[in-house]
Amino acid sequence: MSGDHEDASISRRVRRLETLLEEKGVVTAGAVDEVLDAFLAGASPANGARVVARAWTDEAYRARLLTDGTAAVRELGFMDGSFQRLRVVANTDATHNVIVCTLCSCYPLGLLGPSPGWYKSEAYRSRVVREPRSVLAEFGLQLPTATDITVWDSSEETRYMVLPRRPDGTESLSEDELAALVTRNALIGTAAV
């Protein structure tokens, strides 16, 4: 996938808006950065990985996570006070899930951290709903033809996160060791664990 995206012009517009807001006294200098820093400090794919590791080691938690994702991740201290809803979709032997936002760039930021450039690219957004098998193969994920692929296109306040399959041979690993195996792309669905 191409990593191209047009961040530069957007960045210029945002900086200009921020300057105007500061000049007009709507926000104090640095206030926007402080809010963003505070939010992003806690936003990382390590959060999603912790949720996955818990679901892999605790059947009851897994069931709660798949029934009501928002409530289940709040048990672990994530998405507190968020107005968004989380829907976790589980990969199985027969089905693979992958997430996208075709209209813009909706993403479970608190659990996955800032989204990668390709997630926001027109190429990914337009192609993954049309030919997910080819797109996943380009990410290095070759799925058997018998595996049904479901693409979750987020357009409202629900955010989606993939619960990957637990790899074989990991029975002896601790929850922390399991969490360390889970990558950001596995939480998006463009990789397996």
Partner 1 sequence: MPDRFPPGTRVRTFLHDPPHHTRLPRYARGRSGVVVEPEGRAELADASARGSGDAPVEQVYAVRFAARDLWGEGDHHVVLDLWESCLEACEEEHEKGAADER
CA distance 7 to 116: 12
User: Active-site residue 101, yes or no?
Assistant: yes
Site size toward partner 1, by CB under 8 A = 20
For residue 33, the minimal CB distance to partner 1 (Å) is 28
User: Active-site residue 115, yes or no?
Assistant: no
Residues within window 98-157 making contact with partner 1, judged by CB under 8 A = 102-103, 129-133, 148-157
CA distance 84 to 105: 15
From 104, 126, 134, 174, active-site residue = 104
For residue 95, the minimal CB distance to partner 1 (Å) is 9
Residue 168 binds to partner 1 (criterion: CB under 8 A):
no
User: Active-site residue 106, yes or no?
Assistant: yes
Beta bridge partners of 100: 153
Residue 67 binds to partner 1 (criterion: CB under 8 A):
no
Whose Cβ is closer to partner 1: residue 87's or residue 165's? 87
From 2, 9, 11, 105, active-site residue = 105
Q: What is the DSSP letter of 115?
A: P
CA nearest to 73, candidates 55, 97, 89: 55
For residue 180, the minimal CB distance to partner 1 (Å) is 30
For residue 102, the minimal CB distance to partner 1 (Å) is 5
SS3 annotation, 83-148:
CCEEEEEECCCCEEEEEECCCCCCCCHHHHCCCCHHHHCHHHHHHCCCCHHHHHHHCCCCCCCCCE
Whose Cβ is closer to partner 1: residue 46's or residue 66's? 66
CA distance 132 to 22: 44
CA distance 98 to 95: 10
The token pair that represents 111 in the structure block: 């659990």
| Residues classed as catalytic | 101, 104-106
Residues that bind partner 1 (CB under 8 A): 85, 87, 102-103, 129-133, 148-158
